[in-house]
A and B are shown apart, each in its own frame.
Chain A
C-alpha cells in the first residue's frame, strides 16, 4: 500500500504567495481533485508534487520518504500531464510515444503503444505526423503517453482540455482502471469529470496574504541574527 502525502506546503511564485499551508494525503486507489479559481495554484501544486517546482516550505513524501531525496525514483513512479501536449509536428504519433517509452525503459514497447492507442481510440492515427492532428487528437496522444510503462502516480493538469464529451468518458474510465490497479490520481479540472468519490482539495482556502504568512513563519530569522539584538548583547 503506497502512501503519498504532503504537509504544510507553501508555494512562492515571483513575489506572490500562491498558497500556504496546504496538506494532503493519499493512499493506493485514491483520487484527489484540485479545485480553485484561476491562479489559485492548481497547476503550481501539481508541479510541486511532480518535483518540477520546489516548495518554499513543507515537504512531500512517498511512503514517508521525502521525494527530494531521490528524484529519479519519484520520476520513475509518476506520470505527469501538463498543459502542453509535447507532440512533435514532424514525428508520427507512434514515434512521439516511442521516445517516452524508451526513456522509461519499457519492455514490449510496441505492444504497450498499441494498447495505449487502442484505449484512446487513436490507433488509426499511429502513422500520422503530429502536424496533421487536431488539438483533441494531440491531447489523446498525450493521454496515451501516460498509459505507457509502469507508474503509481498520475498528476493530471486539466486532462480534458480540448476533448469532446465522449472522450471525457474515456478519461474517466482510464482513471478508474488505474485506481483499481492501485494507482493514485491527482487532477485538476474545470468540467465535471466522472470520478468515484474523489477527495476534494479546495485551494481557495489556502490563499493567505503574504504579510500574514511572513509573520507566522518569521522568515526574517533566516536572514541571520538581528543586528539590534547583537548590539544589545
Chain B
C-alpha cells in the first residue's frame, strides 16, 4: 500500500509542477464543446437537445488526449523499468498512476462540465445526473485508457494509435453516460443507466490493472 501512495504522491507532484497538462485537457474540453454551437447554429432548442452527447464526446476526446503521458515519459527516462523492478506489485503501481491521472484530468473535467451544460442551454434537471454520471464514467475512461497507453509504448506515432485502440472501448461509457442525462432530462429515473455505469467502473477497476501491467512488462522486453 505504501508503494501505491508513493507513486500517487509522486505523479500528483509531477502533474502540479508541470501544471500545463491538466490545464490543456480542460481547455481542449471547453474549446471542443464551444465549436458545436458554431457548427450547428445558435438555436437554443437544438443545443439543449444535443448538449449531453456533446459534453460526453468532448470529455471522451479530452481524456484521451492526456493518455499518452501516463506512461510515455516514465518509459523514455527509464523510470518505468525501475518501477517494474521495484518490490511492489506492478498492478498496484499502475492503479496508483491511473488514480493520479484521473485526479489531474477526470476531476477537472467534471468541474468544467456544468459550465458547458449552461452554455449549451441544457435543462437544470440534468445537471446532477450529469455530474454523477461523469463521476462514475471518467475513472473508467482513465482505467481503460491506461491499457492503450501501455500498449503503445515504444511505438512511433503513439498518439494516433492510442485513439484507435481506446475510442471503440469508450463507447459503452458514452452510451450509458449520455443516456443517463437524457433520461433525467425527460424526467425519468436514470438509476438503471447509472447502475450500469457503476458496473462498468467496477469491472474495469478489477480487470484493467492486470492487463495494463502485463502490457507494461511486455514493453520492457
Contacts and interface: CB of A to CB of B under 8 A. Distances in A.
Interface residues of B, number: 24
B77 A72 contact: no
A130 to B, nearest CB: 9
B31 interface: no
A68 interface: no
A73 B81 CA distance: 17
B39 interface: no
Q: What size tier do the contact residues of chain A reach?
A: 20 to 34
B89 interface: yes
A102 B79 contact: no
Is the contact region of chain B dominated by helix, strand, or loop, or is it mixed? helix
B78 A83 contact: yes
A86 interface: yes
A84 B6 CA distance: 21
A82 interface: yes
A80 interface: yes
A99 interface: yes
A62 interface: no
A90 B18 contact: yes
Contact of B85 (A78, A87, A88): A78
Q: Which 5 A-B pairs have the closest CB atoms?
A: A84-B78, A102-B6, A76-B87, A86-B78, A90-B17
Given A52-B81, A53-B221, 5 more contacts: A52-B85, A52-B221, A72-B88, A82-B81, A86-B79
28 contacts: A52-B81, A52-B84, A52-B85, A53-B221, A72-B88, A75-B87, A80-B82, A80-B85, A82-B78, A84-B78, A84-B81, A85-B78, A86-B77, A86-B81, A90-B17, A90-B18, A91-B10, A91-B13, A91-B14, A95-B13, A99-B6, A99-B7, A100-B86, A102-B2, A103-B6, A103-B83, A103-B88, A104-B87
